[in-house]
C-alpha cells in the first residue's frame, strides 16, 4: 500500500519555477501550485488538500517587486493551517525581509537562486520538525502557560476561576500568544475534562463548510453530501468546542451561533428537526470585536454573549523572565525529540533574549529555538548570532526606545533652566497613555499592549494620574 505523500503548497508567480520545482519535488511531496496569494488561500482552504509545508515566494502579484503580498500570505496560511510549516523563497534577499518573514511565521528563508537539492533539504528538515511537533503536541499545547510573571499568574487564576462556568469564554490576544493553549487549559481544569475537546478555525473553511462542520448536514444537503453527518456541536457532547478566529465567522452564521449560545438549539444543514447542544463554547480572536460590533462587521449581540467571561492572553513582551523559561522548555523538548545536543546562550546573548520583544510571541520564540538548534546543535550562541534571528525592524525600535538622543536631551536642559525631570516624565506618560487609549478606542487591553505594559499597570498609572490631578 502506498504511503500518502505530505502536501506541499508551492506559491510563485513564475510558471517556469512552478513547473521545475513541481516536477523535482513531486517524488517526495504531493505538490499543488499557485501563482498568487488568492489562489494559494483558496487551495489551503479546500477540503481535499491540507498542506503540511508551504514554499512561498515573497514577490507576488500585483506587486511582484515588493514583499508585502508574500508577507500577507504567510500570516494567512499560519491562520488557516496552524500546523503548517512555511518557508519563504525569494530573490529579494535583504536581511530585513528574511527576518520579517520569520517573525510573521515562516520557519526558514531560502534565497533565490537555490538548487532543487538545497530546497528539498530545507523542506525535509521542516517536515521533520513538523513530525516532532505531532509527537510533542501535549507539551507544546501548554507552552503558552509556562511562566511565573505577574501577567502569567493572573492568566492562570482566570483560567481556574472560569473553568467550571457554563458560560462562553472569549479569549483575546495577539497572534501567536497561545490562545488555544488557554482554551485547552480551560477544558482540562473543568469538570468536562473527561468529555471531548474539539477545535475549529473559522478562517479555514468556506461558509457552507463551516456550517456543515459545526451543525452537521442531512443527506443531499449540498453537492457531495452523500450521507447524513453530525456536526461538532453534536460530536462534542457536553465537552468543549473551541472556535478560533471567531472574528472570521460569516455574519449569516453568527445568528445561528447566537441561537445555540442562548438556548442550545440548532438544526443540521438541510433539516428542520431541532437539536439541542450541551457544549461549552470557548472562542478566540486577535481582532477588536467590540470595535467590529460597532461598525457592523460583527454582531453586537453575539459579541456581548461571547464576552460574558473574557480572558486577555498577554503578549510575550510583558512576561519578562518567562521568555527564558519558554526557551528552556522548547530547547529541552526539541533537542530530545530530534536527538541533538541543546545549544547555550552566552551572558550577552541571554540579555539580548530578554530584551527582545518577540512581536510574533510564543510562535516566534519557538521557531527561533528550532532554527538555532538546527544550525548550532551543542553550540554556544553569542549576541551576534542571536541577532541574526531577530527582526531587524523590531531591534531598531528597541534601540530607539532604550537609547534616547543625547543631543536632544542636552538642548532640552539648556533651554529650560527650571527643568524638572519628574514633571517632564509624568507629562510624557500622561500623553502616551492618552494617545494609546485614543488609538485603542478606549479598549484597556489593547491600549496596554500599545504601551508595552500589562493592563493592571495601566490601571495603576491612570489611578495615580487621577490622584495627582
CA distance linking residue 80 with residue 362, whole number of Å: 18
Beta strands in 274-432 (DSSP E): 274-276, 280-285, 309-312, 344-345, 380-381
Going by their DSSP bridges, the two strands 197-201 and 169-172 should be labelled as unpaired
Q: Which of 106, 99, 23, 121 is nearest to 57 (CA)?
A: 106
- Convert the pLDDT of each residue in 321-334 to its tens digit: 999 999 999 999 99
Give the pLDDT confidence score for residue 129 in this predicted structure: 87
SS3 assignment, position 198? strand
Q: Is 98 left (phi over 0), alpha (psi -120 to 50) or beta?
A: alpha
Residue % of the chain over a pLDDT of 90: 56
CA distance linking residue 92 with residue 13, whole number of Å: 14
Give the pLDDT confidence score for residue 399 in this predicted structure: 44
Q: Among 115-129, 374-388, 433-447, where is mean pLDDT lowest?
A: 433-447
Neighbour count for residue 216 (Cβ, 10 Å): 23
Q: Given a cut of 80, is residue 440 above it in pLDDT?
A: no
SS3 content of the chain, % helix, strand, coil (to 5): 55, 15, 35
Q: What is the number of helices (H) and of strands (E) in the chain?
A: 22, 14
CB 311 within 8 A of CB 182: yes
CB 213 within 8 A of CB 243: no
Highest mean pLDDT among 139-153, 357-371, 451-465: 357-371
Non-local (6+) Cβ contacts of 144 within 8 A are: 177, 178, 179, 180, 181, 182, 313, 362
The H-or-E segment that residue 139 falls in is helix 137-141
Give the pLDDT confidence score for residue 400 in this predicted structure: 43
Mean pLDDT of the 271-278 span: 94
pTM as predicted: 0.75
Sign of CA dihedral 155, 159, 165, 171: positive
> How far are the Cα atoms of 56, 76, 373 from residue 111, in angstroms, in the given order?
11, 22, 21
HSE toward the beta carbon, residue 411, CA cutoff 13 A: 5
Give CA torsion, residues 177, 181, 183, 184, to 10 deg. 180
Give the pLDDT confidence score for residue 352 in this predicted structure: 92
Q: Which of 203, 72, 53 is nearest to 129 (CA)?
A: 53
Q: Among 4-13, 298-307, 373-382, 455-464, where is mean pLDDT lowest?
A: 455-464
- Convert the pLDDT of each residue in 446-456 to its tens digit: 788 788 877 77
CB 356 within 8 A of CB 390: yes
Mean pLDDT of the 166-193 span: 93
Amino acid at each position: 500500500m502506498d504511503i500518502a505523500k505530505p502536501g506541499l503548497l508551492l506559491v510563485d508567480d513564475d510558471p517556469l519555477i512552478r513547473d521545475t520545482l513541481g516536477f523535482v519535488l513531486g517524488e517526495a511531496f504531493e505538490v499543488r501550485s499557485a501563482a498568487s496569494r488568492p489562489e494559494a488561500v483558496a487551495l489551503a482552504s479546500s477540503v481535499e488538500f491540507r498542506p503540511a509545508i508551504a514554499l512561498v515566494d515573497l514577490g507576488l502579484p500585483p506587486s511582484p517587486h515588493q514583499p508585502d503580498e508574500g508577507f500577507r500570505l504567510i500570516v494567512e496560511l499560519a491562520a488557516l493551517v496552524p500546523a503548517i510549516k512555511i518557508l519563504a523563497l525569494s530573490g529579494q534577499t535583504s536581511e530585513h525581509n528574511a527576518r520579517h518573514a520569520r517573525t510573521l511565521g515562516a520557519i526558514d528563508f531560502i534565497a533565490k537562486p537555490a538548487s532543487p537539492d538545497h530546497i528539498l533539504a530545507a523542506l525535509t528538515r521542516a517536515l521533520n520538525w513538523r513530525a516532532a511537533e505531532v509527537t510533542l503536541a501535549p507539551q507544546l499545547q501548554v507552552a503558552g502557560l509556562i511562566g511565573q510573571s505577574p501577567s502569567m499568574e493572573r492568566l492562570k487564576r482566570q483560567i481556574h476561576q472560569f473553568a467550571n462556568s457554563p458560560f462562553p469564554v472569549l479569549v483575546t490576544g495577539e497572534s501567536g500568544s497561545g490562545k488555544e493553549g488557554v482554551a485547552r487549559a480551560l477544558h482540562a481544569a473543568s469538570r468536562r475534562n473527561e468529555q471531548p475537546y474539539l477545535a475549529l478555525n473559522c478562517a479555514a473553511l468556506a461558509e457552507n463548510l463551516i456550517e456543515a462542520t459545526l451543525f452537521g448536514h442531512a443527506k443531499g444537503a449540498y453537492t457531495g453530501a452523500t450521507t447524513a453527518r453530525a456536526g461538532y456541536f453534536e460530536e462534542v457532547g457536553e465537552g468543549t468546542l473551541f472556535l478560533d478566529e471567531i472574528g472570521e465567522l460569516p455574519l449569516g452564521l453568527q445568528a445561528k451561533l447566537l441561537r445555540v449560545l442562548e438556548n442550545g438549539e440548532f438544526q443540521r444543514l438541510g433539516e428542520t428537526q431541532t437539536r439541542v447542544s450541551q457544549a461549552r463554547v470557548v472562542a478566540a480572536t486577535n481582532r477588536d470585536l467590540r470595535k467590529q460590533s460597532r461598525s457592523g462587521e460583527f454582531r453586537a449581540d453575539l459579541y456581548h454573549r461571547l464576552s460574558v467571561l473574557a480572558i486577555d492572553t498577554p503578549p510575550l513582551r510583558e512576561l519578562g523572565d518567562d521568555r527564558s523559561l519558554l526557551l528552556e522548555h522548547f530547547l529541552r523538548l526539541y533537542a530530545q525529540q530530534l536527538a541533538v545536543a541543546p545549544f547555550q546562550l552566552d551572558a550577552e546573548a541571554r540579555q539580548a533574549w530578554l530584551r527582545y520583544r518577540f512581536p510574533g510571541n510564543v510562535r516566534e520564540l519557538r521557531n527561533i529555538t528550532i532554527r538555532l538548534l538546527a544550525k548550532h546543535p551543542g553550540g554556544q550562541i553569542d549576541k551576534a548570532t542571536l541577532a541574526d534571528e531577530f527582526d531587524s525592524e523590531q531591534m531598531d525600535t528597541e534601540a530607539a526606545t532604550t537609547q534616547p538622543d543625547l543631543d536632544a536631551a542636552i538642548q532640552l536642559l539648556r533651554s529650560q533652566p527650571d527643568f524638572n525631570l519628574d514633571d517632564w516624565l509624568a507629562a510624557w506618560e500622561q500623553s502616551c497613555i492618552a494617545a494609546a487609549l485614543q488609538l485603542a478606542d478606549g479598549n484597556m487591553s489593547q491600549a496596554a499592549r500599545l504601551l508595552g505594559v500589562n493592563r493592571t499597570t495601566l490601571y495603576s498609572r491612570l489611578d495615580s494620574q487621577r490622584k495627582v490631578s
